Each structure stands twice: as structure tokens, then as C-alpha cells.
Amino acid sequence: MNTPATKWIAEWLQGLGRITLLAKEALTSLFSLKVAWRDLVYQIYFIGVKSQSVVLITGAFTGMVLAAQTYFQFHKVRMDTATLAVVGVSMCSELGPVLTGLMVAGRVGAAIAAELGTMRVTEQIDALRTLATHPVDYLVVPRLAAAHLTLPLLTVESIAVGIGAGYIVGVHLLGIDPAYSWHNMIKYTGAVDVFIGIIKAFIYGGLVALIGCYKGMSCGEGAEGVGRATTEAVVYSSIAILIANFFLTLVLGKIFQTL
């Protein structure tokens, strides 16, 4: 039956198949070193350097809010010095990579989709093909590689700033003992938590860049098509990050528990 539900499911499966083929083609070009290096350097600057402000602000205030809320609950059972430990574990393995991915999806995913969508509408992508330049090699691969490289670095910055901001709030505003608070944070926050956060960020970077590139290169005609592609790139990237975070938490948690 050709119902709206079955039609939507068929379109969704077709889109999933197309984005999988795009990922396969981009990875093949990446591993064969068919990269426009100048564009790669620019994309590292655009995705990484220019996203630092929003990522650092998000990480700082997330750490401060988490420290304050944890203190208010732990103070009831006289566990004040464990506040920073909760902030450290949460920022390293969950909040750091997820919030960094969401902020970059909102800023970079929209920009990628709008840029490539405009190029598609104005037939610049077709012009690349007539010049014997593969659009995936020239447009997708630099953005995908730059996102994979920069998201883990941005996540590490967000984690460090979040823990530092949480320490300042806990010690200087809430009066938690600094020595015991720092000792408990180091004791209960291990290198495994940092590794999990970096692995998640690496995957989230690929999701953001891949979805943004796919939506931009397959957008509809006109300004309306570019606007819809931009909106869908942000929404789908954010949903993909949240869904992937659940499964990555289960899988990585099981793997590192057995090590």
C-alpha cells in the first residue's frame, strides 16, 4: 500500500542508503590520499578554531552548573568533597563530547549544508564535474577529515575548561575543601573516561560533517531547498549524536570494563 507512512519509510531507507554510499566513497578517497590539502587546512581552521568560543563557553557553564547542582544534593549527605569527582567523570565521558558535538552541529553542520546547497543550486557542483574534479574529493573529504581531527581536540578543551570552572565554583563559591575535592576527582576520574570521550567525539565529528555534506549536495531547488537542507542537517546531526551516544556508552563501557 502506498500510504504516507510507507512512503516516508521508503524515502528514509533510500536516504540512509545514499548517505552510506557517500560515506564509503569519502572514506575511499580519504584513505587513497585524494585530499585537497589547502581546503583541509582551511576547514580545520573553520571547524576547529572558529568553534572554540562557543565550545569553551558551553563547557565552562556546564561544569559550573553541574558542580553547583551536585553540591546541593551531596551536601545533604555530607559528601561535599565528591562534587568535583562527579563533574570530572560526567564531563570526560558524557557531557563534554555530547555538548561539543551538538554545538558544532548547530554551527558547522548548518554552514556546511548551506554552502554546499548553494553550490548545488547555482550548479557549481556540476561545473566541478565538467572540469574533471570529483565533488566528493574536493568538497566532502576535506570537511570530513577536518571534523574528525578537530572534534576530539575541541572536546578535550571543553573537558578541561568544564572541570576548571567546576573547581572554581565548588572551592571559591561553595566552600568545598580544595585538597580533598581535587584528590577525589583524580581518584575517581581515570584515563578510561577521557579515552571514551575522545572516541565519541571522533565519531560525532564524522556524523556532523557527513550529514551536513549529504544534505547540502542533495538539497532541493531554490532558496527554500537550501533552507530546508540547512535545518535538516542540524536536526538530523543532533539526533544522530544523541542516538549514537547511547549505543557508544553501552559498547565502550563494556569494552573498557573487560580490559
> For residue 1, what pLDDT band results from cuts at 50, 70 and 90?
low
Instruction: Over range 142-153, report the average pLDDT.
Output: 93
Query: What is the per-residue pLDDT for 259?
Result: 63
Question: Per-residue pLDDT for 151 more than 80?
Answer: yes
Query: What is the per-residue pLDDT for 239?
Result: 94
Please state whether 219 falls in left (phi above 0), alpha (psi between -120 and 50) or beta.
beta
Query: What is the per-residue pLDDT for 241?
Result: 95
By C-alpha distance, which of 195, 198, 90, 107 is closest to 148?
198
How far is the C-alpha of 49 from the C-alpha of 175, rounded, in Å? 35
DSSP helix/strand/coil, 127: helix
Instruction: Over range 9-28, report the average pLDDT.
Output: 84
Question: Per-residue pLDDT for 3 more than 80?
Answer: no
Using one digit for the tens of pLDDT, what is the confidence trace for 180-233?
Answer: 889 989 988 888 999 999 999 999 999 999 999 999 888 877 788 888 889 999
| Domains in the chain: boundaries | 51-258
Q: Which three cell numbers stand for residue 108?
A: 558547522
pTM reported for the whole predicted model:
0.90
Instruction: Over range 64-92, report the average pLDDT.
Output: 91
Question: Which residue's C-alpha cell is 546547497?
Answer: 117
Query: What is the per-residue pLDDT for 175?
Result: 87
Following DSSP, what letter does each residue of 75-120 receive, concatenated?
A: GGGT-GGGHHHHHHHHIIIIIHHHHHHHHHIIIIIHHHHHHHHHHH
Looking at the chain, the whole-number percentage of residues with pLDDT higher than 70 is 99
Lowest mean pLDDT among 34-43, 77-86, 109-118, 242-251: 34-43
Which amino acid is residue 129, in one-letter code? R
> For residue 66, what pLDDT band results from cuts at 50, 70 and 90?
very high
Question: Per-residue pLDDT for 147 more than 60?
Answer: yes
Using one digit for the tens of pLDDT, what is the confidence trace for 92-113?
Answer: 999 999 999 999 999 999 999 9
Which contacts (CB < 8 Å, 24+ apart) does range 174-180 have? 174/67, 174/68, 174/71, 174/80, 174/83, 176/71, 176/80, 176/81, 176/83, 176/84, 177/80, 177/81, 180/81
By C-alpha distance, which of 52, 96, 56 is closest to 199?
96
Instruction: Over range 7-24, report the average pLDDT.
Output: 83
Instruction: Over range 153-173, report the average pLDDT.
Output: 94
Instruction: Over range 18-46, report the average pLDDT.
Output: 84
According to DSSP, residue 78 is labeled T
Query: What is the per-residue pLDDT for 15?
Result: 81
Query: What is the per-residue pLDDT for 62?
Result: 94
